Structure 1
């Protein structure tokens, strides 16, 4: 077998390695792919929101999110005892009103987010907001909503919607948000 020159071996190795790094050219989408993409129905979030708006208890707001989906904001100032994750009857009533619209839209997923004001230690508020979000999730599960559709998390005092220096502002910051969306 003839001896190969070391430079030729190095060149062959470089060419072999560089050939592996080249990305294959992708073809443009076909007419069929474009037609399927164009035919994908846009979600009418305003129409989906209507039953939630009709069912919402006093003080509960329902809005279409700018990126799609729905934001349901439930004031929690009167929904929980101070420093507790136990749901009061007023909050239970607000959640009961959302059960039928949720059951009517079985493809919607729900991200339940608990929020607190800034009174108390930050770490405690984070823990409390998580417990409250889980309490809302558990209540909806007990009402018949599939647990696979529900996710709960707490944000503590990190996302205020009002000034925490006033009692009114702190009251607005104590809330539960339910973000409704379609899975991807």
Structure 2
């Protein structure tokens, strides 16, 4: 964005977790919060005004990959990787 001379007016972060620890609101909610806060800290370190950043934590409520039928724990852990994420949305003027 900086290289293109664009101004960021807002950043929205949405943290997510996988279901490996069981579908539990508190644990996975905390993981998704920690992920979003880590990304926020990185962006602030890159010069983004912290006042522009908002975030949500969705825990394990929005899985993008289910991995149904996978039984081996190591394979399941790898399969569920896309669910451990932070969505980042930058708002810039047109």
Q: Which category describes the TM-score, using the shorter chain as reference length?
A: 0.7 to 0.9
5+ residue gaps in structure 1?
A: 1-100
Structure 1 runs of 4+ aligned residues shifted over 6 Å read none
Deviations 1:139-171 (A, max 9, x none): 111221111221122111011111154425411
Of 10, 28, 32 in structure 2, the residue corresponding to residue 129 of structure 1 is 32
- Contact map agreement 1:114 1:176 (CA 8 A) in 2: yes
Question: Could you tell me the TM-score, scaled by structure 1's length?
Answer: 0.40
- Contact map agreement 1:164 1:173 (CA 8 A) in 2: no
Q: CA deviation at 1:102?
A: 5.5
Number of residue pairs the alignment of both structures matches: 83
Q: Distance in 2 between matches of 1:119 and 1:174?
A: 10
Q: Distance in 1 between matches of 2:89 and 2:43?
A: 14
Question: Could you tell me the TM-score, scaled by structure 2's length?
Answer: 0.73
- What SS does the aligned partner of 1:180 have? strand
